[in-house]
Amino acid sequence: MPCTTLLVGRHASADGSPLVARTEDSSNGSFDPKRIVVVRPEDQPRTYTSVVGRRTIELPEEPLRYTSIPNALPDEGIWGCAGINAVNVAMSATETITSNPRVLGADPLVERDGEQPGSFGEEDFVTLVLPYIRSAREGVQRLGALLAEHGTYEMNGIAFSDESDIWWLETVGGHHWIARRVPEDHYVTMPNQLGIDSFDLEDAEGPGRDHLASPDLRAFLREHHLDLTLRDDTDHDAAVFNPREAFGSHSEHDHVYNTPRAWYMQRTLNPTSEDWDAGLPGASPDSDDLPWSRRPERLLMIEDVKDVLSSHYQGTVFDPYSPRGTETERRAFRPIGINRHNALAILQIRPGLPESHRALQWVAYASNPFNTLIPMFTNVEEAPGYLATTPEVVSTDSFYWASRLIAALADAHYAEIIPDIERYQQRTLTLGHAAVHAADDSAAGVDSAGDVPALLAAANTGIAEQIRESTDALLGSVLFTASNRMTNRFSRSDG
């Protein structure tokens, strides 16, 4: 299973922006080139058929414009990944998560069977939901209705955000779902494992302030004996339960693939809150009860999000690039910053700014330890060519392919090349922030909001081209170092 998600509530972020971030990672042994596009209302289909599920649905009229990061090769469907729509609502879909046989036996996944159509999944969700919602809560409600009617063929975690809130939805079997609002002063770590660890049914069935769910969730829990909470004899229908115990998994696979990632993210963002190396319950790489959300020790920035989602257990014996551990230790756990990243999207809805330029979508391609982010304003009619054009053949005219080449060349010579990578990341992130500040200032001086999209599009292209120059220069430097470090190198002075 691929992907890692990090969510940051608005009171946990440095500028008050809710931050939704996810790496889209391909399955082992495969790579899916990505591009970013702007889908205008006239380009949105009115009848949609999924490629994987072969299920057809009629879509509403009057969709909103939205951004998307689809596969560059459409043979397996759209796979929109993440985007922000014209009213500044963001969506990331999907984090593949886990379940257990009791849940899947009670509400089986809806899979395609010969000519019989299946259901919807990661390939489809951004396209089916994002153009039709005007708040994060509406995103949960629309997707929940689609799941109830059509089902899904996989377990999914989906994030929605607006300027105030982040909501996190997890599918529970083929048709059921739960969703929680992220506490505003917390962050959430999600590593391919069903994550929500506390849920209030009374709130979900009533005001829905912080919890939403399938209307029949209480009956579903009771009928199939899914709630594993120890209770008094008089407390059978208590409202609060642990979804991770009821719907999730605690397998040995989780302990090498999933929980270590949550452990390292929380170790990084709360370095003094626990004794992270003592192997204690709730603070070890194989812990089943790491909290779903926690309050960070300081406010978090875009750079913190990028660093965490690029990490590979630095400072521990589990770092595959470090000489500290044994070979077994260095290969023990699945890194967050893995070779098969397709794309990273950080979705930022900045409160207090005019709606015309409030939303930013930060994008990186290929393996995160070696790449950088490019910011893109989303209130535009098209994306910059450097981000939007990903040909089938390898080309340095594409940010995806250039980033992929750098990572592949740098990996074998990590110690020699990482200083260049770090300088590149520092330089390009600096350029990105400066470009955002300049565009904000220019947009604030425009008399008509109708003139802003063209201004933002020019800013997007300008920063993309600046970062293209830096990326090309880094590629040349990495190629030179890797060429000099080839195994068949020899000089007469070697002897």
- 81 catalytic? Reply is no
Contacts of 161 (CB under 8 A, 6+ apart): 7, 18, 19, 20, 89, 90, 91, 136, 167, 347, 349
Is the Cβ–Cβ distance between 22 and 345 less than 8 Å?
A: yes
Looking at residue 418, its amino acid is I
Report d(CA 423, CA 256) in Å as an integer: 32
Determine the 3-state secondary structure of 19 from DSSP. Answer: strand
Query: How many C-beta atoms lie closer than 10 Å to residue 442's C-beta?
Result: 15
Q: Given the DSSP bridges, would you call strands 199-200 and 166-172 parallel, antiparallel or unpaired?
A: unpaired
Which entry of 1, 3, 159, 221 is annotated as an active-site residue? 3
The distance from CA 240 to its chain's CA centroid, rounded to whole angstroms, is: 28
- Torsion over CA: 467, 468, 469, 472 (sign): positive
The phi-psi region of residue 313 (left if phi > 0; otherwise alpha if psi is between -120 and 50; otherwise beta) is: left
Alpha-helix residue ranges (DSSP H) falling in 272-367:
302-308, 327-330
Show the tokens assigned to 243: 């979804």
Going by C-alpha positions, the residue among 96, 44, 37, 30 that lies closest to residue 72 is 37
**Which helix (H) or strand (E) covers residue 419, if one does?**
helix 414-444
Going by C-alpha positions, the residue among 230, 185, 213 that lies closest to residue 18 is 185
Show the tokens assigned to 268: 């990084």
Looking at residue 71, its amino acid is N
**Which helix (H) or strand (E) covers residue 263, if one does?**
helix 259-269
Report d(CA 22, CA 8) in Å as an integer: 12
Is the Cβ–Cβ distance between 432 and 467 less than 8 Å?
A: yes
DSSP state of 223: H
Going by C-alpha positions, the residue among 95, 130, 98, 122 that lies closest to residue 22 is 95
Residue with tokens 């690029």: 310
SS (H, E, C) 138-193: HHHHHHHHHHHHHCECCCEEEEEECCCCEEEEEEECCCEEEEEECCCCCEEEECCC
Strand partners, 200: 240
Residues identified as active-site:
3
